């Protein structure tokens, strides 16, 4: 259980985060709970393993529900397949009591986190290099759209 100061900090962090940052926070949580599950299975602490698995599956389900195929159907389908595979692997790992299955999920989640960090870095770079330039059309100043107006991700 968190102390009130930590809860307040986390609430503020979540409320001020962008959707992209929230997705990264969810991935971090999924990694933490998958590691808890793997450790519980390795230590034969099945209550810990179950709780980690349950929380990780809940986060993966949330990531699945947040996909927006209208922005990029191919990417959304690939992420859907990835998250569904990870949920299946978690369930397999729990039913077989296999820390190795859960370790595979952890590895995939860490790769997903690295990928998402690169996306965030590219978004930040695009925002700083495109300081809303203006152009002239028929003698009138026109503001160019920001990178957020053109770039749509699946999450």
Q: Each residue of 36-47: pLDDT tens digit?
A: 999 999 999 999
- C-alpha triplet 55, 62, 38: angle, nearest 5°: 30
Question: 73-87, pLDDT tens digit by residue?
Answer: 999 999 999 999 999
* DSSP 8-class letter at 141: E
pTM of the model: 0.76
Asked if the model's pLDDT at residue 29 lies above 50, the reply is yes
Domains of the chain: 4-150 (1.20.120.340)
Residues contacting 28, CB < 8 A, separation 6+: 113
**Cα–Cα distance between 74 and 126 in angstroms, integer?**
23
């Amino acid at each position: 259980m968190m102390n009130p100061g930590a809860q307040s900090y986390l609430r503020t962090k979540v409320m001020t985060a962008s959707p992209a940052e929230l997705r990264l926070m969810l991935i971090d949580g999924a990694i933490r709970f998958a590691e808890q599950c793997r450790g519980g299975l390795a230590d034969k602490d099945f209550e810990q393993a179950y709780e980690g698995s349950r929380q990780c599956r809940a986060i993966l389900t949330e990531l699945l529900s947040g996909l927006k195929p209208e922005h990029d159907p191919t990417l959304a389908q690939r992420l859907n397949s990835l998250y569904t595979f990870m949920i299946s692997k978690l369930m397999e790992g729990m039913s077989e009591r296999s820390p190795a299955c859960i370790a595979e999920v952890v590895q995939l989640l860490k790769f997903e986190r690295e990928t998402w960090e690169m996306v965030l870095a590219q978004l930040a770079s695009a925002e700083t290099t495109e300081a809303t330039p203006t152009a002239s059309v028929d003698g009138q100043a026109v503001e160019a759209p920001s990178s957020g107006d053109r770039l749509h991700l699946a999450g």
